[in-house]
Chain A
């Protein structure tokens, strides 16, 4: 199937696939009407979609290095855009983002700006030039531009630290969804999630991941948008929510004024299950200082441009020109989901807190709320909680608590949508987490197999042997990630944000200056990577252990400190040591011109 003119047939292939998936949703809806249980529908959704991804992974199997590392460099711009969007939008974007906006409002929306604005940096500063370089991995660029194994190895280390932090969160998310949908304990579900992830990437490498990511994007975007539009219409908020929710946003503001944000006593809060949050911040008002907002947005933007699993997606396009356009398409497909998250948060919040709506629970008696079916379900799962702190028998705004991830997962049920939608949302969350995990595991395994094994240890290795090493590493890293995920050390969102900070601390300036500053040399780059990563890490540990921090840099934005150290170190050390030789300078010149042969010739 995937041969010859497959590329020309892509719109048709994915058109049929999308039609088939919509057909499957309708089939499930009919089955629900005929009495299929919610549990069976959940299993069917997850099992069916994972089977399709595995099938695509198997069909994309390859024995060629260029297919395995960069999908043969023939992925058209629009499809690469979809694949990048799926690669990018993780469990955090799909499940956690709307919830974060729901509880934190404006201060949290810095993530929306940061996670999109970063693509402007990718398009202008890096992607086209790294594509022209012709590298297989990001450390491949660092190693070739600066020369020497030390620089290459340092880049691999930064990449591994950042991506591994990120991937445990994604495996955690696949495990969470698999355990809910398949009704099995989390510790086992994590490994089921992992096996699904490996099925997509092991045989086909980047090629397999590319075509499954496109399929996963289609599932996740349908799963996100369908409930948003449905709920908007069913609560009478408007046919097209994005343009029509101004009244609802204003109404939430009024209700907040009316209820007020009552601060709970510490003793009362202790009775709330761990991980649940109450509505304590205004929905649409500016509730953070400019610097708190800007520093978080800036850290996320620079992190975006430094994360190797995103950057390597732009190595798969046919040309430099296509790489640039492809960044635009990627952001367009991401925009479709990101611009919907605040709308979902708005509708979800209003439908619960507005007493004039049938779904509103604030102002009802506590006993009445505790008797609602969906409340009992989500309360049992430890994702929702009410308590009569002031003893007046009525539910107040400050007496309602919910987990961030429940906003996306529970809203369809609260709004009274059929269960088929909840099954669809589970499949979407699974797709989001799997696609990102695949990209990340592949980024780590490829860097170690290509840059450490092939370039440093055994440069004469045959292709077959290189790919075997790559595949073994994929499995080993996957299992290591799953083992750590099963320990449940940290939340999904926190570790994702940390990954951005690690990446920007160590890689942002060595990558950007590699293209834009010819004088940057090996010594400077090594100093930049080492000192950037170490100082960022040290700052994180300091703040985590009660350190006060400075300049308002928190544990979520420590990358700003790390990258500043990296920049200074890189410039100072570069200027103190000799300029790069003529052939390196020529390499940079060549990378700046789109036409002509790639800078690196890959075997």
Chain B
């Protein structure tokens, strides 16, 4: 397998992991919205309510930064990262 193919395989692996997490917190948990809302979540809000106003939103922010760092590591590993920029 060529270097490019290996790089793309790893990139695709990271995509699937990232999208799986995204799926859980944007779609998955809301399948059980009514049940989850019976539970008290962080700061005392009903759990589903908390996810819609803070939880999922904040998690997406963290997820994107995490993804960006992982992807950079993959690029560096194969010597594909760009040089000389911030």
- Asked if A and B bind, the verdict is yes
Q: Enumerate chain A interface residues (CB-CB to B < 8 A).
A: 76-77, 106, 109-110, 112-114, 116-117, 119-121, 123-125, 128, 242-247, 249-250, 284-286, 288, 290, 293-294, 297-298, 301, 318-322, 324-325, 327-328, 331-332, 335, 338-339, 341-343, 589, 592-595
Q: Which residues of A contact B45 (CB under 8 A)?
A: 245-246, 249, 284
Complex-state Cα separation, A381 to B51, whole angstroms: 36
Contact B72 A321 (CB under 8 A): yes
The 9 closest A-B pairs by CB, nearest first: A246-B44, A342-B53, A117-B26, A109-B52, A328-B64, A324-B68, A319-B85, A284-B49, A328-B65
* Contact between chains at A324 and B71 (CB < 8 Å): yes
Contact B53 A123 (CB under 8 A): no
A246 x B57 contact (CB < 8 A): no
- Distance between Cα atoms of A112 and B82 in the complex (Å): 35
Q: How far is the CB of A275 from chain B (nearest CB, A)?
A: 25
Q: Is the CB of B82 within 8 A of A76?
A: no
User: What are 5 residue pairs bridging A and B, where the CB atoms are less than 8 Å apart in the complex?
Assistant: A250-B44, A293-B33, A301-B26, A338-B57, A594-B82
Expressed in whole angstroms, the minimum distance between the Cβ of B12 and any Cβ of chain A is: 8
Kindly identify which residue among A242, A243, A286, A595 contacts B82, using a CB–CB cutoff of 8 Å: A595
From A242, A284, A331, A589, contact of B64 by CB (8 A): A331
Check if A331 sits within 8 Å of B86, measured CB to CB. Answer: no
Task: Give the residue name and chain of the A residue nearest to B42 (CB).
Answer: A243
List B2-33 residues whose CB lies under 8 Å from chain A.
4, 7-8, 11, 15, 18-19, 22, 25-27, 30-33
Inter-chain contacts of A589 with B (CB < 8 A):
4
Closest to A320 in B: B82
Give chain B's interface residues, CB within 8 Å of chain A. Answer: 4, 7-8, 11, 15, 18-19, 22, 25-27, 30-34, 37, 43-46, 48-49, 51-54, 56-58, 60-61, 63-65, 67-68, 71-72, 75, 79-83, 85-86
* Extra pairs beyond A113-B51, A335-B57 (4, CB < 8 Å): A114-B26, A321-B68, A321-B85, A324-B71
A120 contacts which of B7, B34, B60, B81 (Cβ < 8 Å)? B60
A339 touching B53, Cβ below 8 Å: yes
Also in contact, A113 and B52, with CB within 8 A (given A246-B43, A331-B61)? yes
Contact A335 B52 (CB under 8 A): no
**A123/B64 in contact, CB under 8 A:** yes
Once bound together, how far apart are the Cα atoms of A245 and B65, in whole Å? 28
A297-B44 contact, Cβ under 8 Å, with A113-B57, A119-B64: no
**Bound: A265/B47 CA distance, A:** 35
- Bound form: Cα–Cα A124–B71 in Å: 9
CB distance from B27 to the nearest CB of A (A): 5
Q: A247-B44, A595-B81 are in contact. Are A335 and B61 (CB under 8 A)?
A: yes
A332 contacts which chain B residues (CB < 8 A)? 61
Q: Are A249 and B75 in contact (CB under 8 A)?
A: no
- B71: A residues at CB distance < 8 A: 128, 324
Return A584 CB to nearest CB of chain B, in Å. Answer: 16
